[in-house]
Amino acid sequence: MYTTRGQRARRSLLALPVAAVLAVGTACAGAHNSSGDGSDARNAAAVRGLPADQWDDLHRSATTESPSTFQGPTASVTPPKNLKVAAITCLSILSGCVSPATGAEQAAKKLGWQVRVFDGGGTPDKQNAQMLNALSWGADIILNIAIDPNAVQDGLRAAQRADVPVGAGSNGLDTPNPPVKPPSGKLGYAFDVAPDYAALGQKAAEWVRADSEGKANIVVYSDKEFPSVLALQKGLLAGLDKCDDCTVQPLRYFTGNQVAQVLPQSVVSYLRSNPDVDYVFIPYDPAAAAVVPAIAQAGLGNKVRLISVLGSQENLNFVRKGQVQVADAAYDNLYMGYAMLDQTSRLLTKKPLAQPHGENLPYVVLDKTNVPEAGSDWHASFDYPGDFDALWK
Amino acid sequence: MTDKTMSHVDAPASAPTPRERLSPGRVLSWVSGYETLVLLALLVVAFSLASDRFLTAANLQNVALVQAVTATMTLAVLMPLIIGEFDLSVGYLIGFLVMLEAVVAQHTSNPVLIMAAGPVVGLLVGLVNGLLTVYFKISSFIATLGVGILLSGGTQGISNGKVIFENIPSSLTSLASDDFLGLSLAVWLTLLLALILFYILEHTPQGRFWYAIGGSERVAYLAGVRTNRMRMTAFAAAGLIVGIAANFALAQAGSANPGYGPELLLPAYAAAFLGVATYRPGYYNVLGALVAIILLAIGFNGLSLLGVPFWVQPIFNGSVLIIAVLVARQETRQVRTG
């Protein structure tokens, strides 16, 4: 086959960047491996374990809700009348995004308020647009569910101009989590109702320790985009650090837009090249939902046990069937809806917000022993709707 | 490549038969080229009747406020579309450029450098897309997809997977926060950009050459158009415009997220495709694209105010796109057959 000089030159031109990328990639891989060995040694936690008869207690502790009784606000509040509340979900096809809005709708019926749910569409552009739509609708307050305030500065500025407060849920930016103040010149939320993510991470670690009887070899995946994930990761690693014979592999990171394609392949490749790893932690359910089928299809379903966070119904179904994912660190999203409206009442009546701002939202680790029935979200066992109702006089 | 341009010019004239007079296309002929405007007017009336919040200055202002990025991205994808090519890198490219500007902002407080980074690098990426497509003869579909995927890796790399929100200068965010006559500066700049592109496309040889290449590259070449160079400039212009959109995006959000960008690709193409139903039916054009953006934005806003379930909006957008393009195709056929 003949090639012209021009064709050869073009091929050479194309080959250059490819070669450069491969060279850089190889160099990076070498650097990563060498530093990875060091991290391995640093992260391989070998601390004291528990006597064999105490694994059941540890498992019971992880799978028991915290708190087990209503620990929300104690000071009553007189809610304002006829409020219009706009609840903007991060993405309305995700049950974890919608459930708090459902809780808010349920609570609003008792208060005689109107709640309108807007679909944030999963992108900052849509979320900003929906905040503006909420203002046009005449909302008295906007509640953003799992929406990063840094991504919706446009909407926050418009709300500030219209003198409409913006609260939030599920971001992990506010107490009991370490409060994250907006950087100078940026706007944030009046409150953010969320569980204690670090404590939830500790609970997940307890479950892993109990399930593996202190011998887990775990890889923890994380996503730096979300403060809630970072808080949870801190608690998880602190909890795993108490495990004598557990091995914690170096952290592996991904981003939200890699969930569908890159993450599943990456996890499977990692598990193939690290056959001793028997536990995988994925920081949120939609990502786990993408990883579970990939692990199963790769024939690794019987070798690894996956744990994730949120309590989405799809993932609870995996747990129910024992299909790769065997546990889910969940929190009560319906409670979150009630708590967001409670904080709204306090904010708009100029009363101090309930402390902590997360209002002690209940959480638990769900596995086959306590997973709710198919089609149901997990809810705390106590009658918190009644407790909130009693507060709203 | 299609022969739209040439067939438009050479179309023979003939009187319509009685059957043709009753065809749906003929029935619609009295609004020929302006169906989307009619639909827009109908939507405005319907939403105004259904919600007393719709037809207010504040609401219309809100509708315009967030369209700057989508509109600019639509203008970007118009350029390759006009020459009969696709640029699938634009979604990844804006994500990369927003992140690049945020990273630059961590190292300098000079707003000019920060705001120039996006357009300059966008232009270079556009040239690379053009080079791969025009000189290396790789299908633009594949070449730009490859460049886009490569850029997504670059975005992850320079951000280290983190959201960057520190040190974004207020002179940049003021593009979104400062307003003039009720609209943000970003919206005015988008309109200015649209005006410039409209002028270039409709009233300069450059624009006519691009349309000629889109109609038939071979004929354009034989007519003396330097087709390779012109195709390169179309890709470069797309990259440059995405760089401008990156400034608006960073100004609006005030932060750069490593996951941002890819979701903007399809809305931009949807608006560009929908635009062929307006002003110059069958042709990608600036005015049509702007009407399409307003139509989709009004639909999104009105349906949100009515509180329809979340799954209704994609159905609305998809239906409008399909119907409008079918109407445009019908009109194009009529032009061809007379």
Check B304 against A150: CB less than 8 A apart: no
DSSP letter, residue A258: G
Position B20 scores a pLDDT of 59
Respond yes or no on whether the N-terminal peptide bond of residue A227 is cis (omega within 30° of 0): no
ipTM: 0.75
Check B161 against A254: CB less than 8 A apart: yes
| pLDDT tens-digit map of B118-164 | 999 999 999 999 999 999 999 999 999 999 999 999 999 999 888 88
Check A137 against B305: CB less than 8 A apart: yes
Cβ proximity of A205 and A199 under 8 Å: no
Model confidence band, residue A35 (pLDDT cutoffs 50, 70, 90): very low
DSSP H helices in chain A:
5-43, 55-62, 95-111, 124-137, 153-161, 197-212, 227-240, 262-273, 285-297, 313-321, 333-348, 384-391
Check A137 against B173: CB less than 8 A apart: no
User: Is B13's pLDDT higher than 50?
Assistant: no
Check A225 against B253: CB less than 8 A apart: no
Q: Look at A307 and B281; give whichever has higher pLDDT.
A: A307
DSSP H helices in B29-180:
35-50, 57-65, 68-82, 90-107, 111-130, 140-159, 170-177
Average pLDDT over residues B276-295: 89
Q: Which residues of A touch B300 (CB under 8 A)?
A: 129, 133
Q: Establish if B53 touches chain A: CB-CB under 8 angstroms.
A: yes
Q: Look at B29 and B128; give whichever has higher pLDDT.
A: B128
* Among B residues 139-198, those touching chain A with beta carbons less than 8 Å apart: 152, 156, 160-163, 165-166, 170, 173, 176-177
Instruction: With CA atoms as reference, report the closest residue to A337 among A85, A93, A118.
Output: A85
Q: How far apart are CA B33 and CA B20, in angstroms?
A: 18
The pair of structure tokens assigned to A34 is: 């060498």
User: Is B8's pLDDT higher than 50?
Assistant: no
Beta A363-366 vs A325-331: how paired, if at all?
antiparallel
| pLDDT tens-digit map of B166-225 | 888 888 888 888 888 888 899 999 999 999 999 999 999 999 999 999 999 999 999 999
Model confidence band, residue B25 (pLDDT cutoffs 50, 70, 90): low
Model confidence band, residue A10 (pLDDT cutoffs 50, 70, 90): low
Check A224 against B160: CB less than 8 A apart: yes
Instruction: With CA atoms as reference, report the closest residue to B298 among B37, B33, B34, B40.
Output: B40
> Which member of A93, A151, A224 has the closest CB to residue B255?
A151
* Closest-CA residue of chain B to A157: B177
| Cβ partners under 8 Å of residue A145, min gap 6 | A87, A88, A89, A90, A97, A100, A101, A120, A168, A169, A170
Q: How far apart are CA A289 and CA A27, in angstroms?
A: 33
Average pLDDT over residues A282-301: 93
Instruction: With CA atoms as reference, report the closest residue to A125 among B297, B311, B184, B183.
Output: B297
Q: Which residues of A touch B303 (CB under 8 A)?
A: none
Cβ proximity of B283 and B4 under 8 Å: yes
Chain A nearest CA to B10, separation (Å): 38
| pLDDT tens-digit map of A203-233 | 999 999 999 999 999 999 999 888 899 999 9
Chain A nearest CA to B181, separation (Å): 16
> Which member of A118, A128, A153 has the closest CB to residue B304?
A118
The pair of structure tokens assigned to A87 is: 């609840």
> Which member of B62, B70, B135 has the closest CB to residue A136?
B62
CA torsion, ordered B11, B13, B14, B20, to nearest 10 deg: 60
Average pLDDT, chain B: 87
Check A153 against B173: CB less than 8 A apart: yes
Average pLDDT, chain A: 87
| pLDDT tens-digit map of A153-176 | 989 999 999 999 999 999 999 999
Check A255 against B258: CB less than 8 A apart: yes
The pair of structure tokens assigned to B78 is: 């118009």
Q: How far apart are CA A247 and CA A278, in angstroms?
A: 10
Chain A nearest CA to B328, separation (Å): 28
What CA–CA distances, in Å, run from A105 to A84, A108, A109, A145, B90?
11, 5, 7, 13, 39
Q: Which residues of A touch B266 (CB under 8 A)?
A: none
The pair of structure tokens assigned to A130 is: 């929906």
The pair of structure tokens assigned to B137 is: 């003869």
Check A223 against B161: CB less than 8 A apart: yes
Check A136 against B160: CB less than 8 A apart: no
The pair of structure tokens assigned to B326 is: 């079918």
Q: Which residues of B touch A119 (CB under 8 A)?
A: 310, 313
Position A193 scores a pLDDT of 97
Position B24 scores a pLDDT of 61
Counted residue by residue, chain B has a size of: 338
| pLDDT tens-digit map of B224-279 | 999 999 999 999 999 999 999 999 999 988 889 888 898 899 889 999 998 888 88
User: Is A101's pLDDT higher than 70?
Assistant: yes
Q: Which residues of A touch B162 (CB under 8 A)?
A: 224-225
Q: Establish if B255 touches chain A: CB-CB under 8 angstroms.
A: yes
Cβ proximity of A281 and A219 under 8 Å: yes
Model confidence band, residue B324 (pLDDT cutoffs 50, 70, 90): confident
Position A21 scores a pLDDT of 47
Counted residue by residue, chain A has a size of: 393
* Closest-CA residue of chain A to B262: A257
Q: Establish if B310 touches chain A: CB-CB under 8 angstroms.
A: yes
A interface with B, Cβ–Cβ < 8 A, is: 10, 14, 89, 92-93, 116-119, 122-125, 128-130, 132-133, 135-138, 148, 150-154, 157-158, 162, 183, 185-186, 223-225, 253-258
Residue B60 three-state SS: helix
| Cβ partners under 8 Å of residue B160, min gap 6 | A224
What CA–CA distances, in Å, run from B61 to B40, B56, B300?
17, 8, 14
* Exposed / middle / buried, residue B167 (Cβ in 10 Å: 0-12, 13-18, 19+): middle
The pair of structure tokens assigned to A295 is: 């692990």
Model confidence band, residue A117 (pLDDT cutoffs 50, 70, 90): very high
Q: Which residues of B touch A257 (CB under 8 A)?
A: 152, 258-259, 262
Q: Measured in whole angstroms, how far is the alpha carbon of residue A291 from the centre of its chain? A: 15
Cβ proximity of A50 and A214 under 8 Å: yes
Residue B48 three-state SS: helix
The H-or-E segment that residue A280 falls in is strand A279-281
Q: How far apart are CA B61 and CA A136, in angstroms?
A: 10
**Least confident among A11-15, A83-87, A194-198, A363-367:** A11-15
Cβ proximity of B106 and A183 under 8 Å: no
Position B334 scores a pLDDT of 66
Model confidence band, residue B18 (pLDDT cutoffs 50, 70, 90): low
**Least confident among A80-84, A286-290, B12-16, B166-170:** B12-16
Partner residues linked to A19 by β-bridges: none
**Least confident among A121-135, A324-338, B12-26, B277-291:** B12-26
Check B62 against A153: CB less than 8 A apart: no
Cβ proximity of B277 and B25 under 8 Å: no
Q: Establish if B58 touches chain A: CB-CB under 8 angstroms.
A: yes
| Cβ partners under 8 Å of residue A86, min gap 6 | A115, A116, A118, A131, A134, A137, A139, A141, A142, A143
Q: What are the φ and ψ backbone dihedral angles of A31, each rounded to 5 degrees?
A: -60, -40
Model confidence band, residue A393 (pLDDT cutoffs 50, 70, 90): confident
Q: How far apart are CA A330 and CA A309, in angstroms?
A: 6
Q: Which residues of B touch A162 (CB under 8 A)?
A: 58
Check B257 against A124: CB less than 8 A apart: yes
Position B336 scores a pLDDT of 59
> Which member of B65, B135, B156 has the closest CB to residue A158?
B65
Q: Establish if B66 touches chain A: CB-CB under 8 angstroms.
A: yes
Chain A nearest CA to B161, separation (Å): 6
Q: Establish if B316 touches chain A: CB-CB under 8 angstroms.
A: no
Model confidence band, residue A31 (pLDDT cutoffs 50, 70, 90): very low
Check A129 against B160: CB less than 8 A apart: no
Chain A nearest CA to B214, separation (Å): 26
Cβ proximity of A111 and A99 under 8 Å: no
Check B253 against A128: CB less than 8 A apart: yes
Q: How far apart are CA A307 and CA B64, in angstroms?
A: 44
Check B66 against A137: CB less than 8 A apart: no
Q: How far apart are CA A59 and CA A209, in angstroms?
A: 8
Average pLDDT over residues A185-210: 96
Check A133 against B304: CB less than 8 A apart: yes
Q: Look at B13 and B166; give whichever has higher pLDDT.
A: B166
Position B338 scores a pLDDT of 56
Neighbours of A324 (CB within 10 A): 22
User: Is B21's pLDDT higher than 70?
Assistant: no
Q: DSSP per residue over B237-267, as a string? A: HHHHHHHHHHHHHHHHHSSB-TT-SGGGHHH
**Least confident among A87-101, A336-350, A356-370:** A87-101
Cα Rg of chain B (Å, integer): 21
Q: Measured in whole angstroms, how far is the alpha carbon of residue A173 from the centre of its chain? A: 12
Check A224 against B264: CB less than 8 A apart: no
